[in-house]
Amino acid sequence: MKSELWKPRQSRWDAAALVGQIKRADIQLTAGKLAELRDYFWFDLCAEWDSTYLHDEIHRSENSWSQEFLAFEQAWFEDEINHAEGFLALYCLLYEEDETLVRQRLRERSPDFSPLAEFLHDEWGLSLLFAYDELATMRAYHIDVALYQSLGTSELSRFIRLLLRDETYHHANAVDLILRQDGLGFEKVSHLIDRFLAYDQQDPRYQATFVFDHEWAHVGEDFFLETAKMLKERLAKSMKKAG
């Protein structure tokens, strides 16, 4: 790891307070559309909430993480919890559910990290997984912008824009960590990205792990292939420049 001090990009905001400004009557959704979107909003809420499980898994690990990785992970975790709180407020507003009961339902789920064990045990590999997964999230939220804008409140348009900015920062911060690793060749990086892609292409069941929360019905068939290609191109350019 290079020696000069690195800090993750982060911009703090309060997602639940932003959603809290919305009046239910201002949201333009028919009853049919609302019912149709229930699983979609629940899934996004769960995936953001599951950062808690990944955070615990990282800190439970016997691996000794660098200061830079820990700074990255802390900023990431703060942001994801903020996103989860925003989605929780939105879900309760849309579906008129009791927040305490929804929190209980979220806590009753339990993660299974065992299928991902090979990706979690070293810092550069996990940083690369963050770079891949956050890029996928960023691209998926980008598709969602039109939906949020159609709901008729400026707060929800702002909510999705701020989410997108945070996911962009998470991706960029993870890329920085990769580029700051000494002696990491592009071939090694490219090979691991191929393994992420192969995992995604098996359509694995999502098990509350935050990463690989990719059961998205609204993305195209080549979405993950394109994501892997974009990440490789980004890293190839920078690694070539550095080398």
Residues lying near Fe ion in the complex (CB under 5 A) are found at 48, 80, 83, 134, 167, 170
C-beta closer to Fe ion: residue 22 or 51: 51
C-beta closer to Fe ion: residue 68 or 80: 80
C-beta closer to Fe ion: residue 123 or 134: 134
Min separation Cβ 141 and Fe ion, Å? 8
As a residue count, the chain comes to 243
Query: Which two three-digit tokens encode residue 169?
Result: 């920062």
Helix, strand, coil percentages in the chain from 3-state DSSP, rounded to 5: 70, 0, 30
Q: How far apart are CA 235 and CA 231, in angstroms?
A: 6
Give CA separation, 242 vs 4, 7, 10, 195, in Å: 16, 20, 25, 25
Collect all residues with Cβ–Cβ distance below 8 Å to 236 and sequence separation of at least 6.
186, 190
Min separation Cβ 167 and Fe ion, Å? 5
C-beta closer to Fe ion: residue 28 or 74: 74
State the Cα angle at 141 between 97 and 59, rounded to 5°: 75
Min separation Cβ 223 and Fe ion, Å? 17
Min separation Cβ 79 and Fe ion, Å? 6
C-beta closer to Fe ion: residue 83 or 139: 83
Q: How far apart are CA 144 and CA 159, in angstroms?
A: 11
Min separation Cβ 136 and Fe ion, Å? 10
For residue 54, give the amino acid letter: L
